[in-house]
Structure 1
Amino acid sequence: MDVSGRVWCFGDDINTDLIQPMHTVFKPLTEQHRYVFEANRPGWVDLVEPGDVIVAGRNFGTGSSRPAAKLLVDLGIGALVADSINWLFFRNCVNFALPALGCPGVRAMFAEGQHARLDLAAGLVENTDTGQTRHGTPWTPELLDIVAAGGLLKQLERDGLLVAGSSDG
């Protein structure tokens, strides 16, 4: 699975409170994505375009298990690549069909506005502006299948393990 897009750069320790502020958790689902990164990147949600890629430093997604990854999907983010990704946030990315790859040293190889290409099956990240590449941990076929299905709930529906439309995910 390949994903390409324009890069937005973030630093270390971006937690779920920054991605999905607590005051938005009880707002209608259709509005929650409007508040992503409002504390540290005001107005960012108005600049994001479908397919854009977040490139970040260490420990992206630390914090609570709130479904912040879904808000990134709702914004149209095409992928996330970071020096390291909190394991619980990574699993939420998979569950909501957001391609995410931990790749040590990746943040240093991008400037905001450059373009990234990710090959999840190979664990490859490329800065298509400079040609520089790095390797992270490749995704397993099982994880790739979840994302290809559109997320875990859609995969379960597809496989007849969940009645279609029985969840709000």
Structure 2
Amino acid sequence: MTQEGLIVEGPVIKVGDKIDTDIIIPARYLVYTDPAILAQHVMEPLDPEFHKKASRGVVLVAGRAFGMGSSREQAAIALKAAGVRAVLAESFARIFYRNAINNGLPVLVVPGISREVSDGDYVVVNVGTGEVIVNNGAKVLRARPITGMALEILRSGGLLEYLKRQGSPH
């Protein structure tokens, strides 16, 4: 199977280093399970209007250690529900990275991205090859591609949908 075929694109919203899960979705909202409610509060400590900006469909660009902190699955769910199509960062906390993939949110490690991409730039990302095209080819960056089962999980929209397609009884 080819690694091509999962293309994500949108305008960039840029954040910094060490964005922890309490910034992504503050703990006081973890009582909610509805992704639409979580989406309204995503990134609230950084920008109370983030959910409105993200609702048009955006690519979040971050520095190092995105998603550090508690292992709350709601962080990835809230980002995706708010309209974040992918997160591109210098590095990710391991648990957040896997939670994102399991919830159908592409997350790619892109060395140097925080220096190369600005707020408002437009990016086109090929998740399977790792190619990141910035502003219609003004720059082309290389991410670590997502391949194998992780790519299939993303193509399915998340782990539960992937398992349904596999005929799993779970």
By how many angstroms is 1:72 displaced? 0.9
Q: Distance in 2 between matches of 1:117 and 1:150?
A: 19
Q: Which letter does structure 1 place at the counterpart of 2:64? A: R
1:126 alignment counterpart = 133
When the two structures are superposed, what TM-score results if normalisation uses the length of structure 2? Answer: 0.90
1:39 counterpart = 2:45? yes
* Misfit runs of 4+, over 2 Å: none
By how many angstroms is 1:51 displaced? 2.7
Map of 1:1-169 to 2, 5 A cutoff? 1-29=6-34, 30-67=36-73, 68-129=75-136, 131-162=138-169
Identify which range, 71-80 or 14-23, moves more after superposition: 71-80
Q: Which runs of 5+ in 1 are unaligned?
A: 164-169
Q: Distance in 1 between matches of 2:33 and 2:128?
A: 35
How many residues in Structure 1 have an aligned counterpart in Structure 2?
163
By how many angstroms is 1:133 displaced? 1.8
When the two structures are superposed, what TM-score results if normalisation uses the length of structure 1? Answer: 0.90
By how many angstroms is 1:141 displaced? 2.6
Percent same amino acid at aligned positions?
34
Q: Distance in 1 between matches of 2:55 and 2:123?
A: 14
Q: Which letter does structure 2 place at the counterpart of 1:95? A: N
The 3-state SS of whatever aligns with 2:40 is: helix
Question: What is the CA deviation profile of residues 32-88 of structure 1, one whole-angstrom value per residue up to 9, with x for unaligned ones?
Answer: 221111111121112223431001101100011111101111112111101111111
What is the aligned-residue RMSD (CA, Å)? 1.4
